[in-house]
Structure 1
Amino acid sequence: MGKKQGAYLYGITAMQVGEVDCPGIGTPPQKVHLVPAGGVGLIITHLSPDFEDVSIEDAVQHVRVLENVMAKSPVLPIRFGTVAESLADLKRMVASHEFVIRKELNRLKGKYEVGVKAYWRKEVILEELQQSKDYSTLVEQAQQDSRTAIELGQRIESIANEWRSKFEEQFHPELARLTTDSIVGEAMGVEMVYNGSFLVTPEQDQRLKEKVVDIAEKKLASKIEFHYTTNLPPYNFVKLKLHWG
């Protein structure tokens, strides 16, 4: 981003005044403020002239700031690393879109995002492959021949894709109907077979978790490992996109 004066942006919220009781980005961590813009509030850190760039550690703090505010008010999260060079221009732009911003905040009130990810257990992938009559030959040849190694990789990916389709068709609808909204994201890596995001209330969160545990323990315990992450900023469910110069 280079050296800039302005404000680092975390999100937009219904609250308008005060300090957020959570350290923000920077070394040492900078204070986080709520700044009014029309009838809503900007969650920002004022940047010093020598501010240069954000780090991986800042990404963690970015989410923690949003989680802190979400405990008190709905939030429209802003993409990590976003800087406004002119806070005055940003405030004018946000104020001019106050109606749609407040509508979106009301839609998200009392809700947050949950992520459900499912991964093949490695031993299960091997079991699937070993059912092929030529598996042992392929493994031996793959150590010497790059084309055979590619073929073996394609077989692994084919098995993973088949399970992704089955999971999305069979289990995603069961989970989705317990929530306000849901999406299936792109699988990241061969071992991931499911990447679901859900917009939930606390009550829906509890029912969703119970259903995931039920599926994990009764139907897929030997094949799939689940990761369940709750109380996330609703990045995947904000339907409003704002742009400024």
Structure 2
Amino acid sequence: MNSNAAANDPAAQSRLYVYAIVRNAPRTPITAPAVADPLGAVWVEPIGGLAALVSNYTGDEIMPVRRNALAHTRVLEAALPDGPMLPMRFGVMVDDVAGLKRVIAPREKDLEMLLDDLSGRVEVGIKARWNEDIIWTEIVAAHPELGRVGNRLKRLSKGEGYYDRIDLGRKVEAAISEKRIAEAEKLQRFLDPFVVRQKQLNQTDDMTYFHTAVLVEGNLEPALFEAITRYESVQPHRLILKVISPVPAYNFVAVSLDWSAGESVRLRESA
């Protein structure tokens, strides 16, 4: 599209891309590049006692490609040190500041309560994964009959022992599940003193036995990280613990706002 066509195309007019809702308070300037515009600025747009982190975008829809999603995340991460935020999902846009105010202003008190709940707290992602070779050795040691059956089946041709192989697979899965539950409960007890709220996340593979997001008091985050490091160090080569922190609190406050109709605003706080 040429420049003249763009000027006459409503879809090409500048709109506001919305990253998050925050308190209307002094903040460190955000130097992270805007979504879909590496040279674009992100700024704070005041709305009463609240404010929105926004940038300009000329167009109708932002493509959900990796570079844009990363830009969205980096803006949120850059804003985290300045206090609590209610992060928006990727791709939220509004026509102008007036539209922004129509959506946010009617729910100012509700949004302030959500921000108060997050004040001084951070979200931490924790994933625990076994070393596959070591865990299989442990399972066979705990269930020697599985090893014996497995060795016997290895000596058979591919077409033999069909039902025995199915039965072995079920028993192995049961042994893994039992071990996963026991070790997840052990790690959970270790984390409990730090947790304000928690949300279990999907496990990515069989060797991942614990994947969670926890909301913790910000002043306890260093102690949590140190404790997790100690937990991992007593199981060298057997366990890999990955900690991601701090991250925007997507898992603990989900704000659903109807950006297309300012009079109809819905909020949802996750448990």
TM-score range relative to shorter protein: 0.7 to 0.9
8 A contact 1:114–1:198 mirrored in 2 = yes
1:28 and 1:206, CA in 2 relative to 1: closer, same or farther beyond 3 A?
closer
The 10-residue stretch of structure 1 (18-27 or 209-218) with the greater mean CA deviation from structure 2: 18-27
1:141 and 1:206, CA in 2 relative to 1: closer, same or farther beyond 3 A?
farther
Shift of 1:88: 3.1
Task: Identify the residue that residue 187 of structure 1 maps to in structure 2.
Answer: 203
Q: SS state of the match for residue 242, structure 1? A: coil
Residue correspondence of structure 1 range 157-196 to structure 2 within 5 A: 157-196=173-212
Task: Identify the residue that residue 79 of structure 2 maps to in structure 1.
Answer: 69
Which amino acid is the alignment partner of residue 24 of structure 2?
A: M
Residue correspondence of structure 1 range 70-219 to structure 2 within 5 A: 70-85=80-95, 88-128=98-138, 130=140, 131=144, 132=146, 133-138=148-153, 154=170, 157-218=173-234
Return the alpha-carbon distance in structure 1 between the equivalents of residues 127 and 207 of structure 2. Answer: 11
1:110 and 1:141, CA in 2 relative to 1: closer, same or farther beyond 3 A?
farther
The alignment's C-alpha RMSD in Å is 3.1
**Deviations 1:116-152, CA, capped at 9 Å, x for gaps:** 1001111123314544121234567796689887766
1:54 and 1:11, CA in 2 relative to 1: closer, same or farther beyond 3 A?
same
Task: Identify the residue that residue 265 of structure 2 maps to in structure 1.
Answer: none
What is the total number of aligned residue pairs between the two structures? 242
8 A contact 1:115–1:228 mirrored in 2 = yes
1:168 and 1:142, CA in 2 relative to 1: closer, same or farther beyond 3 A?
farther
Percent identity reads 25
8 A contact 2:36–2:57 mirrored in 1 = no
Task: Identify the residue that residue 243 of structure 1 maps to in structure 2.
Answer: 258
Task: Identify the residue that residue 249 of structure 2 maps to in structure 1.
Answer: 234
8 A contact 2:76–2:87 mirrored in 1 = yes
Return the alpha-carbon distance in structure 1 between the equivalents of residues 258 and 157 of structure 2. Answer: 50
1:109 and 1:33, CA in 2 relative to 1: closer, same or farther beyond 3 A?
same
Which amino acid is the alignment partner of residue 229 of structure 2?
A: V
The 10-residue stretch of structure 1 (18-27 or 151-160) with the greater mean CA deviation from structure 2: 151-160
Structure showing greater radius of gyration is 2
* Structure 2 unaligned blocks of 5 or more: 1-10, 261-271
Shift of 1:240: 4.6
Aligned counterpart for 1:9 among listed residues 15, 18, 21: 18
Taking structure 1 as the reference length, what is the TM-score of the superposition?
A: 0.83
Which amino acid is the alignment partner of residue 180 of structure 1?
A: V
Return the alpha-carbon distance in structure 2 between the equivalents of residues 56 and 33 of structure 1. Answer: 22
Taking structure 2 as the reference length, what is the TM-score of the superposition?
A: 0.76
Which amino acid is the alignment partner of residue 17 of structure 2?
A: Y
8 A contact 1:138–1:152 mirrored in 2 = no
* Structure 1 unaligned blocks of 5 or more: none
Which amino acid is the alignment partner of residue 74 of structure 1?
A: P
Shift of 1:72: 1.2
Task: Identify the residue that residue 49 of structure 2 maps to in structure 1.
Answer: 39
Return the alpha-carbon distance in structure 2 between the equivalents of residues 115 and 208 of structure 1. Answer: 11
The 10-residue stretch of structure 1 (74-83 or 4-13) with the greater mean CA deviation from structure 2: 4-13
Which amino acid is the alignment partner of residue 177 of structure 1?
A: P
Q: SS state of the match for residue 126, structure 1? A: helix
**Deviations 1:143-163, CA, capped at 9 Å, x for gaps:** 668988776665554344323
8 A contact 2:69–2:90 mirrored in 1 = yes
Q: SS state of the match for residue 95, structure 1? A: helix
